[in-house]
Structure 1
Amino acid sequence: METKQCTACGQEKPQSAFTKRAGKSGRRGTCRSCMRRRKRETTAVDSLFHADSGSAAEASASGSGLTVAVAVAVGQASTAETRAAVAVTNTETASAASAASETSPPSRTRKRKRKRRRGRYNKAARLRKQQDTDQPAEVSEAQTPVRPPDRVIKQIQGSFTFATSVLNDRGRGHIRLRGYRETGKRWSTVIPTEMAVRMVEEGAAGIINSGMIHKLYTKSDFRLLILQRDDYICRYCGKFGDTIDHVMPKSKGGLSSPANCVCACSECNLKKADKLDFVNNDDF
């Protein structure tokens, strides 16, 4: 078996204990075990240099000459001497770092940023705001609500017809419905032919052609149209109302049309829910 002497430890070792040179057939002069040991010792010295970049680095500045000498000795001195020098350096650096940490002022801890809670979701903030006002919340709720001024509601402009005999789905079973949002953006969808006929008959849409109808009001304009038509009076109790109720509930096939919607107060609207024969029996 061919052997080779290691340049680091001076021992005769087989050539398989040495790494190959890149692009050459020869072997390196340092064995694998010595190379690994040298790498560990170099890493330990480097970690001591970069342990503390602040006050610990200033405290250990006086011993930097000894540390550099140890770093040079790692590559040239014997293994026993290198280990002893590294141990001495570790002890001195650790003592210097501990002394620097005792003399240095304590670092400030970063406060945790509190998440801001919006006022409309903070019930306590709303209660405090009501208490700070001149009139308490009970008095303000007991006051009669003021009816907002009327606004002229105009239909969507277009050449519409309202004769349902014009509609023809050509066997498809659906008619295309079109409309406008409050932002002016156009939308469209398909609805069953029976629903399209009912929307035209109940005054919610107009016919563009045999296969398409168009809603006459936007969502916000339709709400104001019903409230102004009923003079903001609840149909069930006669009090002030500012909500819209579907006489035929939407869950049972009712449509959002002028013929199927009436003005209602919030209490009656909640009591009626999806009932068909709702009667308010409270004494007012």
Structure 2
Amino acid sequence: MDTIYKICAHCHEQKPIQEFLRRTGKRSGKASRRGACRSCRKQRKAVQVAVVSDAQGTPEQPRVMQASPQLLLDEGSLVTPKIRTRRPLPPPPPRPEGPDASVLQPTREGFIRMRGRTDKGRRWYQETDLETAVILVKEHAAVVVNRYTIRRIYTNKSFRRFILARDRHQCFFCGEYGDTIDHLLPRSKGGHTTPMNCVCACNICNQSKASHSLDEFLGQDEE
């Protein structure tokens, strides 16, 4: 059996995939692994002590550092902070063939029918509001079947593969290797999983951004 390799998001070394922890939850799978290797995770979890002196000149006392731009590792070396810059947004994919979103109309019950397929090819159906349906069509995540129905273009796995291949596994925020998907406008603030709202991100930037918008996240680094 051929050994599968993966590039660590922290040390950028190519290591066997067994050196990476498995993901859990919906993203778990045989080939689903986290971005940092085991050795880098051990360093990050090591006690990070900074020797400080108080203003009165009392003996130096160790304190545990919180998350900061520079992390003091057990070997005494510093991890330089990531340099995040505002980059141009990726170009949208070609517009799928079909009617424009302006033809959509809600049914008598007041919703738009939405259908698609799972990763295993099984069909699914649900109902959504007109505003969401229009956004999905305009941002190239769905096509209009008729004035009451839209169809999602991507499955979960095919969408992930598309975004990573489009961005060439390059983090949109720092330019380093990335293998996760991040929403520019978080779903908690009304964003949707569409090609125009999702970019490739490294694990650190993805976790640091959390529920911040793009302007809020990049604004933190500019301060």
Q: TM-score range by the shorter chain?
A: 0.5 to 0.7
Q: What is the root-mean-square deviation of aligned Cα atoms in Å?
A: 2.7
Q: Residue in 1 aligned with 2:217?
A: 278
| Equivalent AA in structure 1 for residue 159 of structure 2 | F
Q: Kindly indicate whether residue 210 of structure 2 is the aligned counterpart of residue 265 of structure 1.
A: no
Relative to total residues, which structure has the larger helix share, 1 or 2?
A: 1
Q: Stretches of 4+ moved more than 2 A in 1?
A: 170-173
Query: 1:260 and 1:238 mapped to 2: Cα distance?
Result: 18
Q: TM-score, normalised by structure 2?
A: 0.54
> Alignment partner of 1:268: what SS?
helix
Given the alignment, which residue of 129, 134, 137 partners 1:197? 134
Counting matched residue pairs gives: 132
Q: TM-score, normalised by structure 1?
A: 0.43
Q: Residue in 1 aligned with 2:169?
A: 232
Query: 2:112 and 2:97 mapped to 1: Cα distance?
Result: 15
Structure 1: gaps of 5 or more residues: 1-119, 121-135, 142-154
Query: 1:202 and 1:220 mapped to 2: Cα distance?
Result: 18
Given the alignment, which residue of 105, 109, 112 partners 1:168? 105
Q: Residue in 2 aligned with 1:206?
A: 143
Structure 2: gaps of 5 or more residues: 1-21, 23-37, 44-92
Q: Kindly indicate whether residue 117 of structure 2 is the aligned counterpart of residue 177 of structure 1.
A: no
Displacement of 1:162 after TM fit?
4.0
> Alignment partner of 2:221: what SS?
coil
Relative to total residues, which structure has the larger strand share, 1 or 2?
A: 2
| Equivalent AA in structure 2 for residue 268 of structure 1 | C
> Alignment partner of 1:278: what SS?
helix
Displacement of 1:166 after TM fit?
1.5
> Alignment partner of 2:169: what SS?
coil
Mapping of residues 38-187 of structure 1, within 5 Å: 137=39, 161-187=98-124
Q: Is the 8 A contact 1:160 1:208 kept in 2?
A: no
Displacement of 1:160 after TM fit?
5.4
- CA deviations on 1:42-101 (whole Å, 9 max, x unpaired) are xxxxxxxxxxxxxxxxxxxxxxxxxxxxxxxxxxxxxxxxxxxxxxxxxxxxxxxxxxxx
